[in-house]
A and B are shown apart, each in its own frame.
Chain A
Amino acid sequence: AQSVTQPDIHITVSEGASLELRCNYSYGATPYLFWYVQSPGQGLQLLLKYFSGDTLVQGIKGFEAEFKRSQSSFNLRKPSVHWSDAAEYFCAVGGDSSYKLIFGSGTRLLVRP
């Protein structure tokens, strides 16, 4: 079955600290992987995407993610979190034979001043 698991419902970090949000997927074909961010009252904004090639991908706002096929993971990282990063983060998986993206249930990031 195709699915995305984000095991952390909430994560709280201090401003300036590093961040890692976990994402595990199950997909029957070659996965295309995405991270989105949703600020309160806003739509989802694409942070980064992985289709193929270099397994470490850079995105907007200083985020990066690493694809690990052996672990079926696509974790999101940021070396130093800013207060404005507080938001909901969604991981998603798709493939070149499907119009559909499978979304995880989201991780809410809280940033302590």
Chain B
Amino acid sequence: DTAVSQTPKYLVTQMGNDKSIKCEQNLGHDTMYWYKQDSKKFLKIMFSYNNKELIINETVPNRFSPKSPDKAHLNLHINSLELGDSAVYFCASSGGKGYEQYFGPGTRLTVT
């Protein structure tokens, strides 16, 4: 049983399109995250929700909008996709402040 799952695993789309990535965790955690990993493997935190409340909102274009329908799910919607959005997006969850984070398998987004 996968702890943190993401769909889709691969996403290939054209510039200007809108797309969504979904994340679900079955660990009972209250906190979920979105990260972006670029081609140099650098991990950048984008957003975090704790119990459906946005608690971290880093400097990210407002074309990116997270949504947490409940504490087990965190989705990421991206409007007007650009070439620079191509990356691997990871979802993660944790039990709270200071706790380790558990990562999903990632979604590789390619914008052409």
Is the A/B pair a real complex?
yes
* A99-B31, A100-B45 as given contacts; A94 in contact with B98, CB under 8 Å: yes
**Size bracket of the B interface:** 20 to 34
* Contact, CB under 8 Å: A46 / B102: yes
**One of A37-45, A62-70, A75-83 at the interface:** A37-45
* Contact, CB under 8 Å: A42 / B97: no
The answer to whether the Cβ of A3 comes within 8 Å of any Cβ in the partner chain is: no
Chain B contact residues: over half helix, strand or loop, or mixed? strand
- How many A-B residue pairs have C-beta atoms within 8 angstroms? Tell me: 55
B78-112 CB contacts (< 8 Å) to partner A:
90, 92, 94, 96-98, 100-106
B20-55 CB contacts (< 8 Å) to partner A:
31, 40-43, 45, 48, 50, 55
* Contact, CB under 8 Å: A95 / B102: no
**Size bracket of the A interface:** 20 to 34
* Contact, CB under 8 Å: A42 / B98: no
* A43-B90, A43-B106, A44-B90 as given contacts; A96 in contact with B97, CB under 8 Å: yes
Can you sample 12 A-B contacts with CB below 8 Å? A32-B98, A43-B103, A44-B90, A46-B102, A88-B41, A94-B98, A95-B97, A98-B97, A99-B31, A100-B48, A101-B101, A106-B42
